Amino acid sequence: MWRDFYQNDLKLNVIVWPAHPSSPQAFGWFKKPLRSVADIKGLKCRQTGLNAEVYAKMGMSVVNMAGGEIVPAAQRGVIDCAEWVGGVEDLRLGLHSVFKYHYTPGHAREQLDRRARLQPRRVEELHAGAAGRGRTRR
């Protein structure tokens, strides 16, 4: 249906595949439980983008830092909470090892709808390249 919609209704020369995320984006990982909105005030948290703006208005002190800095910053007590990607990516980063409480979903992206869109000639080029490396088309 997607391919038909993109090619026939939208008149786009693309082939579409679903490319789903690992999970919804979380509200975040916290050292202490949140029992009310008042518990957010004063927390120093790694947040970015629109989330950071919203949480700052709620009284949170927001910090932007690279993913590799989150766990060490939490271990040193620099931050009280963090948001990264969600689901398996958060586990790979090790957020569960420094934060006890996880809240999901967040308000920004409860579920993402992602798709890959390629022009048909590019798809054929990919298939041809795979066949040249001894792989077969499915």
More confident residue, 17 or 77: 77
What is the per-residue pLDDT across 58-69, written as a single tens digit (0 to 9) for each? 899 999 999 999
Domain locations in the chain as residue ranges: 1-20+113-138, 22-110
pLDDT for the residue numbered 45: 96
70 burial level (CB within 10 Å; 0-12, 13-18, 19+): buried
Q: Which of 32-36, 52-56, 78-82 has the lowest mean pLDDT?
A: 52-56
For residues 17 and 94, the model is more confident at: 94
Predicted TM-score of the model (pTM): 0.63
Q: What is the CATH number of domain 22-110?
A: 3.40.190.10
How many Cβ atoms are within 10 Å of 83's Cβ, its own excluded?
27
Q: Are 27 and 46 in contact (CB under 8 A)?
A: no
| Least confident span in 4-18, 44-58, 71-85, 117-131 | 117-131
